């Protein structure tokens, strides 16, 4: 591709490319998504593009965030830190960690739809595989990758692309996720260094605080709830944003929002996405933090004006 075609409609000019080597410059998600759409328009298959792009993201590509993961004491520590400071990465998916039934599920929800959504989903999962290989020096055990994609949506070369990487690919899943044994969470990392990890985390916190000066606070809270999970408290979210709860409460109020309202918005957004899949109401209620399906149904009806069943039936009728 020509540089002009790559940057079309991104708002980034050819003349400004030199400034992008300056670490103080910022590229927005919208700009990066547009550039990826331009690549997709020219190059074709979203799975191949996403996979090949993801394999290019070494841990050092992420700067101080990558070094923070490398120096963490265990995979659990690395994942906790990684998700708290996910805003410092190139990820274009919301990533949620769920630990249940002896398994860890890293659930990926792309911030785009259609082929572009497939591209960023596959890119972020592919990049995660590079990260795990570097964290464990190539010794990470077998795991599973679940995709909502069907076999017909995958290119014929997918076997060649993924051969020898040591995972099982499961298609037609309810959600896209990387799944592995929870016992691995407390496995020590070979490059663990407590002092380095602390120094790197301090720098991550400072960078995130700087980044937050340019962001919509309510949107940032939404992103944090999606990455940390809906069980995260206001204190946990505020800490991950390098703020006190008092400051976060004040900043949300200045935007005409509140913690409860933002959390409800995220819940209902996730509910709509989950209802588009064949997941039981009981499981959706559990995922969203409701005590049972009845409480979830009452909350959803207050928010949308219809029951979850009516909403789901309408989706199926529309397709």
Per the prediction, the chain carries an average pLDDT of: 84
Reduced to 3 states (helix: H, G, I; strand: E, B; else coil), residue 271 is: helix
Q: What is residue 271's predicted lDDT score, i.e. its pLDDT?
A: 86
Task: Say how far apart CA 294 and CA 264 lie, in whole Å.
Answer: 17
Q: What is residue 287's predicted lDDT score, i.e. its pLDDT?
A: 84
267 in Cβ contact with 234 (< 8 Å): no
Return the closest-CA partner of residue 113 out of 160, 148, 137, 79: 148
What global pTM score does this model have? 0.66
Structural domains in the chain plus CATH codes: 24-186 (no CATH), 215-319 (1.10.10.60)
Reduced to 3 states (helix: H, G, I; strand: E, B; else coil), residue 102 is: coil
Total Cβ atoms within 10 A of residue 16 = 11
Query: How confident is the chain (319 residues) per 10-residue block, as mean pLDDT?
Result: 86 69 69 90 88 90 91 93 88 89 91 89 92 79 82 75 72 90 90 92 84 70 82 88 86 80 84 83 87 89 84 67
Q: What is residue 19's predicted lDDT score, i.e. its pLDDT?
A: 62
Task: Say how far apart CA 196 and CA 120 lie, in whole Å.
Answer: 31
């Amino acid at each position: 591709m020509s540089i002009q075609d790559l940057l079309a409609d991104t708002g980034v000019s050819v003349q400004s490319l030199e400034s992008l080597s300056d670490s103080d410059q910022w590229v927005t998600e919208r700009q990066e998504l547009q550039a990826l759409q331009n690549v997709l328009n020219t190059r074709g298959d979203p799975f191949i593009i996403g996979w090949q792009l993801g394999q290019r993201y070494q841990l050092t590509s992420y700067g101080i965030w990558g070094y923070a993961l490398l120096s963490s004491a265990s995979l659990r520590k690395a994942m906790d830190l990684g998700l708290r400071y996910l805003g410092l990465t190139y990820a274009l998916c919301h990533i949620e960690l769920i630990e249940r039934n002896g398994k860890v599920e890293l659930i990926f929800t792309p911030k785009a739809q259609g082929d572009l959504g497939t591209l960023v989903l596959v890119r972020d999962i592919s990049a995660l595989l590079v990260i795990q290989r570097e964290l464990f020096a190539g010794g990470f055990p077998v795991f599973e990758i679940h995709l909502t994609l069907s076999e017909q949506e995958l290119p014929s070369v997918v076997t060649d692309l993924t051969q020898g990487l040591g995972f099982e690919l499961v298609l037609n899943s309810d959600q896209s996720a990387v799944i592995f044994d929870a016992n691995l969470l407390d496995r020590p990392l070979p490059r663990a260094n407590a002092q380095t990890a602390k120094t790197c985390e301090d720098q991550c916190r400072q960078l995130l605080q700087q980044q937050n000066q340019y962001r919509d606070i309510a949107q940032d809270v939404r992103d944090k709830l999606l990455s940390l999970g809906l069980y995260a408290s206001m204190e946990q979210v505020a800490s991950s944003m390098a703020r006190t709860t008092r400051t976060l409460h004040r900043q949300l109020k200045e935007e005409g929002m509140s913690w409860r309202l933002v959390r409800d918005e995220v819940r209902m957004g996730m509910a709509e996405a989950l209802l588009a899949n064949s997941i039981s109401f009981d499981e959706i209620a559990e995922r969203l933090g409701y005590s049972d399906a009845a409480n979830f149904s009452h909350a959803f009806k207050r928010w949308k004006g219809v029951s979850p069943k009516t909403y789901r039936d309408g989706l199926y009728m529309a397709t």
